[in-house]
Structure 1
């Protein structure tokens, strides 16, 4: 996906990006182009899983499916790599879906014509697409990571679809040293923290419990109301849910929220 030229003014802002790579590096570069000082502290590490015999069978039988869904840009990319090994051309007649515009863009870049929610980027938005309303008897290939949300699979099963999952990668919490945490949380003392999944938020909270930094005083950027509710229940009260997960929307939201004087973050004084 082509990211628009930076327009948000983030001069003087310190932003901690907790996305996994490669998304973290791309977002960090965009925020820096907007004037922010940025540190990257991925709180999820993706580990690609080896292809199994069952995985190969799913890919070799790709033409038997009616729908192919990827839950993230990373899942879409890994799926296309697997398909390329066995299919010199994509089989015809498949309906391709991305949970959000960024995921659909990965399919589009490969020459496909994917569908994505027009006004959202969550599993709930995906399931509202007309093509998935009544999939009874139709076969769905769901490309995803290990231990993710089960909403898409369970909902489509209830609607009568025959869902096959292709688990392409696992997600793990990286191990960060005390010096890393002091550098990224204490010394850097971010104004805003980007945590774009519930799992990332859980890992961030675990870091806060093991450090002296009061993360709950910072602006927290989360992907959806579901995660925002989780954050509020955990004690965060300054929360941004951006209009989309595109880099420019995240930057614009952070700039607007940090510009509000009444909510300017207090510097961390608990670390010596």
Structure 2
């Protein structure tokens, strides 16, 4: 039996990624290194939801943040206020916003090549903000780039943490898998998870293909000792699965990717 592709994306999105990789004929093992849970509503959150119509733009950083936003707005706003522009760091987050709220969502340009905060900030509508009120919906901790840059550009930013991420050690079987490097490839789309799991990775594991969703993560991986990083064309299941196929069977992946682009 061939070694599995180890994926680290938590929850339902991890299941979708697993299915995309398995569809390419590769076995998958899920490593649950992070648990994501919504935070209890705080007075700050409640104030933001009640004053939601005061915001000119709303920026959402992850699919789970989008779910939390949609559930809150369903409680406070049976009908969404008009005149608000919505932004998402990546396509998966935009899809949740569109499905749950029915809104048009601005995403990073496809030419940016990555689903990142940096790419989102290249949008022309976020360059000059002139005292506009912006709601940034995110998790606890995480990067501060969006809030800092939008503030520097003139916005009044309210950053609202609506969920927490909790790291948990790999189960014994998965810890042994990392220690032995007994996997076909490792897929990581979170810098927090990558840094956390590096402590369990042996020299053999560091030499196995590591599939990441951005050049920023590839740079981090190099600093952590990973020697074979492959940057996917984004963080979507399709992009990550294509990169896995490329790393595991380059000739077959080239054919699949050509077919995908023609379709």
Check whether TM > 0.5: yes
Q: Does 1:225 pair with 2:218?
A: no
Aligned partner (choices 134, 148, 152) of residue 154 of structure 1: 148
* Cα deviation, residue 187, structure 1: 7.8
Partner of 2:89: 99
Q: Does 1:196 pair with 2:186?
A: no
* Cα deviation, residue 213, structure 1: 6.7
| Partner SS, residue 147 of structure 1 | coil
Q: Residues of 1 paired with 2:244 and 2:152: CA distance?
A: 39
Deviations 1:214-241 (A, max 9, x none): 3201110112111111111222121111
Q: Does 1:89 pair with 2:82?
A: no
**Contact 1:14-1:188 at 8 Å conserved across structures:** no
**Contact 1:97-1:104 at 8 Å conserved across structures:** yes
* Cα deviation, residue 255, structure 1: 1.2
In structure 2, relative to structure 1, the CA distance for the partners of 1:260 and 1:111 (3 Å cut) is closer
Partner of 2:255: none
Kindly indicate which of the two structures has a greater share of residues assigned to helix: 2
* Cα deviation, residue 188, structure 1: 8.5
* Cα deviation, residue 121, structure 1: 0.9
Q: Does 1:124 pair with 2:115?
A: no
Q: Residues of 2 paired with 1:108 and 1:232: CA distance?
A: 36
Q: Residues of 2 paired with 1:78 and 1:214: CA distance?
A: 39
Deviations 1:107-150 (A, max 9, x none): 11131011101223100011111111111200000000011110
Structure 2 gaps, min length 5: 252-263
| Partner SS, residue 160 of structure 1 | coil
Q: Does 1:15 pair with 2:9?
A: no
Partner of 1:8: none
Structure 1 gaps, min length 5: 1-10, 262-272
| Partner SS, residue 214 of structure 1 | helix
Aligned partner (choices 140, 145, 148) of residue 134 of structure 2: 140
Q: Does 1:246 pair with 2:236?
A: yes
Q: List aligned pairs for 1:49-128, cutoff 5 A.
A: 49-109=39-99, 110-119=101-110, 120-128=114-122
Q: Which moved more, 1:85-94 or 1:112-121?
A: 112-121
Q: Residues of 2 paired with 1:246 and 1:138: CA distance?
A: 31
**Contact 1:13-1:35 at 8 Å conserved across structures:** no
**Contact 1:192-1:221 at 8 Å conserved across structures:** yes
| Partner SS, residue 22 of structure 1 | helix
Partner of 1:3: none
**Contact 1:185-1:213 at 8 Å conserved across structures:** no
**Contact 2:53-2:81 at 8 Å conserved across structures:** yes
Aligned-residue CA RMSD in angstroms? Answer: 1.9
Deviations 1:165-194 (A, max 9, x none): 110111111133434422x43689211001
Q: Residues of 2 paired with 1:95 and 1:206: CA distance?
A: 41
**Contact 2:195-2:224 at 8 Å conserved across structures:** no
Q: Residues of 1 paired with 2:215 and 2:169: CA distance?
A: 28
